[in-house]
Chain A
Amino acid sequence: MNLRIPTARQIAFIKMAVFLLCSIPAAHLAAGWFSGTLGANPIQALQHATGEWTLRMLLITLAVTPLRRLTGIHWLLRLRRMLGLFAFAWACAHLANWLWLDLWLDWTLIAHDILERPYVTVGLAAFVLMVPLAATSNAFAIGRLGGRRWQALHRSVYAIAVLGVVHFWWLVKADVLEPLLYALALAALLGVRGWWRELERRRQLAAGGPGCPQIKNKVIRIVPR
């Protein structure tokens, strides 16, 4: 198989394989729940696992663009929607577990948690921001919104990822090692974008051209390449 230009059939196969791969943790967790191997506090184990997988899938989704650019394997882009939807699915599981199994839909308790605990507020905000992205993750919505507006909307994934890491950071009691690792990974993924953007800005400045006046030290709109 030509890794750079796979056939449509091969792409379909890759998608199926990635889907199955991404489903393994969920199957593993479900098996653990039903066989009672999630430890003494299975609801908490479920809460942590679903939260961590949400973050992992978000980071994997954000890794697609840099990976594609570094390797030149452009069909990676065609996996991004599925990866993002997996992140959303984990977030739904995380929220549902919290509302239902943890708090048994006790809305007074839930309201207090949202209002009084910043990590809950931030986590919920991240979830709310994910909803429009999931809802517009189809060809119809892209057509309806137009590519540029769709892209602008979907840039909120950066904010979502930052909120997700803050949510994790805020909830640990003392040991920030784990949230720190997620924060570093996210910083790398966002940093590389910033760096490339800066390079592109300089290139366009140097090249001049229409719509790109030669003004030093002024932020100018970058025309995507």
Chain B
Amino acid sequence: MLIKCPADIPPSEITPREQFERRREFLRHAGLGVAAATALWHGLLPEARAASALGPLIAGPYRTDETPTPFEAVTRYNNFYEFGTDKEDPAKNAVRMALEPWTVRVEGLVNKPQTFDIDTLRKLAPLEERIYRLRCVEAWSMVVPWVGYPLAALLRAVEPLGSAKYVAFVTHYDPQIMLRRPVLDWPYTEGLRLDEALHPLTLLTFGLYGELLPAQNGAPLRIVVPWKYGFKSIKSLVAIRLTERQPATAWNTAAPHEYGFYANVNPEVSHPRWSQATERRIGELRRRPTLMFNGYAEQVAQLYQGMDLKTNF
């Protein structure tokens, strides 16, 4: 597949290198500080955390130079309904999730179905830092420095069969520590078309801000699909299944008229409760216009050529 490079950035949007690096350094320190404080708070030694740190990262392609949303907001303003429906609930409750041992089953229409443990998965491909825009269907957005590698690397390792057309994902569900009320059909499920899942923007994600993913952000691993609404980016992944038919997904099952299978960020197709024309970037007061495919149109628009995105929303 031909991978297009992002368009040239107008000079007005380029941050002077010196200033940019100072900001990165400041953010890293701020991030580390909060992470260390969090670790201490939960009775973990900072050293224990450092030992499992993500190691050297390479700067991935497609990163935006927009200012990342502060670590504090990224990790305290979350939708993870298994841990509560208020934005601050997951940060309070998700720490109860046991992250070890953790395995991911990859099965279905593949030559080599297997169960990976998290350490093996982390080492499957070089880890990149990718700063992506994240757009929630509720019309707010963030900019997050994720750490991971393209999901394609994992999918290629299991060798999809020619008949595979879709990829289904399943979130960990433990009724002992998670919400038992049937807000959605637990466990949470999501899905992508195989070509979407293989797209180099689709990231198998293990960390953010250079640190391991916090539980509320989908530890120990999640998918990030930056051109789709946030709910497509499934958290705390335990199973991947390649299928011939379009898989059922949690939100689409709960309210098919409101949440389509594709859920591409599209300012022209509004949700019954939210206009999608504008969004509020967390940390900003005024709304900004929403970009088609969340600003990734150049990379992904060809995936949907000939499709009516109003019916396939």
Contact = CB atoms under 8 A, between A and B. Distances in A.
Nearest to A45: B87
B81 A109 contact: no
B251 to A, nearest CB: 8
Interface string A36-75: 0001110110000000000000000000000000000000
Contacts of A116: 270, 272, 275
A106 B288 CA distance: 12
B171 to A, nearest CB: 15
Interface residues of B, number: 28
B4 to A, nearest CB: 33
Contact of A101 (B77, B255, B285): B285
Nearest to B271: A117
Contact of A41 (B85, B140, B272, B286): B140
Nearest to A113: B275
A177 interface: yes
B244 interface: no
A40 B181 contact: no
A112 interface: yes
B85 A40 contact: no
Interface in A90-130: 101, 103-104, 106, 109, 112-113, 116-117, 119
Interface string A142-182: 00000000000000000000000000001101110100000
B181 A177 contact: yes
Contacts of A173: 85, 138, 273
B176 to A, nearest CB: 20
A147 B69 CA distance: 58
Interface residues on A, range: 20 to 34
Interface stretch (B39-47, B119-127, B276-284, B299-307): B276-284
Interface in B118-153: 138, 140
Contacts of A117: 272-273
Contacts of B275: 109, 112-113, 116
A39 B87 contact: yes
Contacts of B278: 109
Contacts of A40: 69, 72-73, 76-77, 87, 282-283
A134 to B, nearest CB: 28
21 contacts: A39-B87, A40-B87, A40-B282, A40-B283, A41-B87, A43-B280, A43-B285, A44-B140, A44-B280, A104-B286, A106-B287, A109-B278, A112-B270, A113-B275, A116-B270, A170-B273, A174-B184, A174-B254, A174-B255, A175-B85, A175-B181
Interface of B: 69, 72-73, 76-77, 81, 85, 87-88, 138, 140, 181, 183-184, 254-255, 270, 272-273, 275, 277-278, 280, 282-283, 285-287
